[in-house]
Amino acid sequence: MLNNKSVLVTGGTGSFGKKFVEIVLQRYKPARLIVFSRDELKQYEMQSEYPEEKGSPIRYFIGDVRDRERLYRAFDEVDVVVHAAALKQVPAAEYNPLEVIKTNILGAANIIDAAVDRNVSKVVALSTDKACNPINIYGATKLCSDKLFTAARTYSGSHKTQFVVVRYGNVINSRGSVIPRFLELRETGKIPVTHEKMTRFVCTLERSVNFVIDSIIEGSSGSIYVPKLPSVNILDLAKSLAPDCEIEIVGIRPGEKLHETLISREDADRAVEFDESYVIQPYFLMHIDDKQIHERGRKCEEGFEYRSDTNNRMLSIGEICDYLGSEKVMG
Closest CA to 280 of 215, 232, 231: 215
Residue 325 CB contacts under 8 Å (≥ 6 apart), including other chains? none
Contact 128, 88 (CB under 8 A): yes
For the question of residue 130 being annotated catalytic, the response is: yes
Contact 329, 172 (CB under 8 A): yes
Name residue 289's amino acid: D
Backbone angles phi, psi at 79, to 5 degrees: -90, -45
Residue 245 CB contacts under 8 Å (≥ 6 apart), including other chains? 185, 186, 188, 189, 190, 191, 238
Closest CA to 11 of 95, 104, 79: 104
* Catalytic residue chosen out of the listed positions 5, 18, 130, 239: 130
Give the torsion sign (CA, 274, 142, 76, 206). negative
3 state DSSP class of 196: coil
Q: How far apart are CA 108 and CA 88, in angstroms?
A: 14
Q: How far apart are CA 153 and CA 325, in angstroms?
A: 40
Q: How far apart are CA 87 and CA 100, in angstroms?
A: 6
Closest CA to 232 of 320, 328, 130: 320
Closest CA to 3 of 33, 29, 35: 29
Instruction: Round to the nearest angstrom and report the end-to-end CA distance of the chain.
Output: 37
Q: How far apart are CA 211 and CA 242, in angstroms?
A: 30
* Residues forming the active site: 130
